Amino acid sequence: VFRPGEFGADIVVHSTSKFINGHGTAIGGAIVDTGNYDWRRGPFDEIRDVSQRAGQLAFLWYLRNVIYRDLGGCPAPMNSFLMLQGLETLPARMARHCENAERLAQFLQSHPNVAWVNYPGLETSNFRDRAAKLFAGRAGGLLTLGLGDKQKAFKFIDSLKLARNLANLGDAKTLVVHPASTIFHEFDADELGSMGITDDMVRVSVGIEGFEDIKADFEQAIERA
């Protein structure tokens, strides 16, 4: 969805556990050298020396021979297999994630019992133009919604039947979580407020299930909240 190298990023770090794996079955990460940086002229002595023979691959050479070989920062073979398998379906899955997320955001925005929805693909979003520029016409598979207060958020999450209450994201399954009491539980009220985290917020990682199934599940859970 987003290509950081086209906007000047030199190094991109991915959590492959998310959309790349796509099924929540393995933990891993990836570091990508976009080729934008000239390592021959940088202030990094060790990498600059390597660049004389490795050229634009100097940084990756350094990672492989210092981080990977000497320090052991490498994935298990099975994890690597699962990540590579996930890559095969990544384009098709991302298209479905984005489509379902946009449709769900529109449905939630129109629901009288939903206090607010935050999704950059909505016409009312302050970030719509920026998302269109950066994300090639898509807006991703994540959204947040508010139901008015913490207890309603908890009741909504507990009432879901298809979606699962998990802190992961980028899974083929739709996942929900209450950020204030999980991911950000160690922060006080002022800190949460400065980050835009509210007690009624529910984060949704929209999956690739049939949209009508997702919609029906959310609709019945909202009515119960």
Give yes or no for residue 40 having a pLDDT over 90.
no
Helix ranges restricted to H, the chain: 45-54, 58-62, 77-110, 128-134, 150-159, 189-194, 211-224
Q: How far apart are CA 29 and CA 46, in angstroms?
A: 23
Write the DSSP assignment of 64-81 as a string of letters.
IIIIITTT-----HHHHH
90-224: what fold?
Answer: Aspartate Aminotransferase, domain 1 (3.90.1150)
Q: Considering only CA atoms, which of 197, 213, 202 is closest in space to residue 176?
A: 202
Q: Is pLDDT of 36 > 80?
A: yes
If 0-12 CB within 10 Å is exposed, 13-18 middle and 19+ buried, where does residue 116 land? middle
Q: How far apart are alpha carbons 72 and 31 in whole angstroms?
A: 15
| pLDDT tens, residue by residue, 134-181 | 988 899 999 999 999 999 999 999 999 999 999 999 999 999 999 999
Whether 20 and 30 have beta carbons less than 8 Å apart is answered as yes
pLDDT tops 90 at residue 50: no
- Which regions of the chain carry the CATH code 3.90.1150.10? 90-224
Residue 83: pLDDT band with limits 50, 70, 90:
very high
Question: Coil, strand, or helix at residue 201?
Answer: strand
